[in-house]
Amino acid sequence: MAQTYALRYLTKAALSAPRDLVNSYLATIKPIHPTVLIFNCTWVCDARCEMCSNWKRGDRKLDMTFEQIERVFRSDFWKKIEIANVSGGEPTTRNDLVEICEVMLDRLPRLRKFGINTTGMTPKRAIPMIEKVAAACQRRGVIFSTRVSIDGVGDMHNLVRNVPHGFDKAYETIQAMREMQSRYSFNYGVSTTIFSMNLRDAENILAWARKERLDIVFNMIRFTEPMLGNTGLEQVQKPAGADEERMRQFFLDRVRMDPLMDGQNYIYMHYADMIANGYHRLAPCPFQSQGIMLNPDGGLFFCENSDAVGNVIETDPGELYFRAASQAHRDEVRDKKCPTCLSPCQMNVAAVKQVVPYVKFLVRATNEKRKSPAAKP
C-alpha cells in the first residue's frame, strides 16, 4: 500500500512539474497565488505536550465557526492550492472536522494531496472522522495522508504528552489505520519531535517503528509563536552541548543508513547541516513564495514565522495576501527569519518545485552513504 501511495504521489508530482517550474519562475517576478496551505483549525488539544504550548491557548469560542470557514473558502484566493494540511491543536476535537475537510476538498480545485495530523489520543472519536475523510479524498481522486504523533516508546510518550496510557491510545489509533487500509488507499505513519526530553529515546522510537513497519518522520524541535505557541520553552527544551551533537549525529545517521530516495533524508540533511553550521538554513522552502498558513481565529500568515497580515473573517484572504504592505512583510520575513528557520513544513514540496537544490542533496547524500559502516567492506 505504501508503494502504491508513493507511486501515485510521484506520478502526480511528475505531471505537475511543468507548472511547478513556471510557478517558481513567476514567483521571482511577482506575487503568485499560494499552492501550499496549512490550516490550524483549532488550538484545543487532548494532550499537554512538554514541547508545545498550543493546548494552553485552546479556546473553542475563539475558533472560526463552520459557517465562517465555509464562507472563507468560497474565496477565489484558494484556487491554486495543490497541497493542504489540517493541523492544530488536535483537529479531531472539532465535531465538524469532516465537514470542514469536505469544504476544503470541494473548494480547492487543484488539490492533489491532503493531510491531517493527529495525536491519536482519542481513537473512538478520531478513527471514524479520519475514515470519512479518507473516503472523501478517494472519491475525489485526492491523495490522503495522516500521521500519529509518537514522541517516545511506552512511558516516555506518556510523559512527553502528559496523558496516562497515551502510548496505548495512540497505538490503538495506528492499528485502526492499518486495518482501514483494506478499504481505502491512503498513507499513514507516525511523526516524532526530537527535543531535550526524548532525545535519548530516539533510537528506541526508530527501532519500534521499524518493528511495526511504520513510516516514521523525525522533526527537530523549533520555537514559533504563530504555529506552536512555544517560544517561552526554548531555554528548557532545546538540546545543548553534547546532546546537540548527539541529535546532529542521529539525523546524519538517517541519511547514511536510510534509502537514498527516502524523501525525509532531505530534511534530515537539512537538520544536520544547520546544527553544524550555527543554524544557517541551506534548504529551500515553498512558503517563501507559494505558501500560506491559516490559524483557528482567522489570522492569515505567510508562514509560521510571519506576523498575521490580517483576518479572513473580516477581509477577503486575497485582498490581505496581495496588499503591498503584506508583500513587504513577506520580504522582511525572507530576509530576517528564513536564514535561520528550522521548519520542515512541506520541504519535500520545495524539493519537487526547486530541482537544483534537490540534485545537490542527492550528490551529498550519496557521499555520506559511503561513510556508513554498512558501505565499508
Q: Concatenated DSSP letters for 260-306?
A: TT-THHHHHHHHHHHHHTTS---S--GGGTSEEEE-TTSEEESSTTS
In one letter, which amino acid is 81? I
pLDDT of residue 269: 87
Summarize the confidence of residues 300-318 as an average pLDDT: 97
Grid cell, residue 118, equals 493527529
pLDDT of residue 262: 66
The tens digit of pLDDT for each residue in 204-238 reads 999 999 999 999 999 999 999 999 999 999 999 99
The tens digit of pLDDT for each residue in 14-69 reads 555 566 666 665 667 789 999 999 999 999 999 999 999 999 999 999 999 999 99
Tally the residues of the chain. Answer: 377
pLDDT of residue 102: 98
Closest CA to 149 of 125, 124, 174, 129: 174
Q: Confirm or reject CATH 3.20.20.70 for domain 2-375, answering yes or no.
A: yes
Closest CA to 187 of 249, 244, 250, 137: 137
Q: Whole-model pTM?
A: 0.90
Task: Dihedral sign for Cα 338, 283, 152, 40, please.
Answer: positive
Q: Would the pLDDT of 3 be above 50? A: no
Per the CB < 8 A criterion, the answer to whether 300 and 317 are in contact is yes
Phi and psi, residue 217, nearest 5°? -120, 130
Per the CB < 8 A criterion, the answer to whether 38 and 294 are in contact is yes
Per the CB < 8 A criterion, the answer to whether 154 and 204 are in contact is no
Closest CA to 1 of 139, 192, 134: 134
pLDDT of residue 117: 96
Neighbours of 51 (CB within 10 A): 22
Q: Identify the H or E element spanning 233.
A: none
Every domain of the chain and the residues it spans:
2-375
In one letter, which amino acid is 363? V
pLDDT, greater one: 32 or 377: 32
CA 182 to chain centre: 25
**Cα–Cα distance measured from residue 158 to residue 176, given in angstroms and rounded to the nearest whole number:** 20
Summarize the confidence of residues 72-100 as an average pLDDT: 97
In one letter, which amino acid is 327? Q
Per the CB < 8 A criterion, the answer to whether 41 and 296 are in contact is yes
pLDDT of residue 2: 46
**∠ CA 189-273-224 to the nearest 5 degrees?**
65
Q: Is 165 left (phi over 0), alpha (psi -120 to 50) or beta?
A: left
Q: Identify the H or E element spanning 207.
A: helix 202-211
pLDDT of residue 363: 73
What is the biggest distance separating any 2 CA atoms in the chain, rounded to whole angstroms? 65
**Cα–Cα distance measured from residue 22 to residue 234, given in angstroms and rounded to the nearest whole number:** 39
DSSP structural state of residue 30: S
**Cα–Cα distance measured from residue 375 to residue 364, given in angstroms and rounded to the nearest whole number:** 15
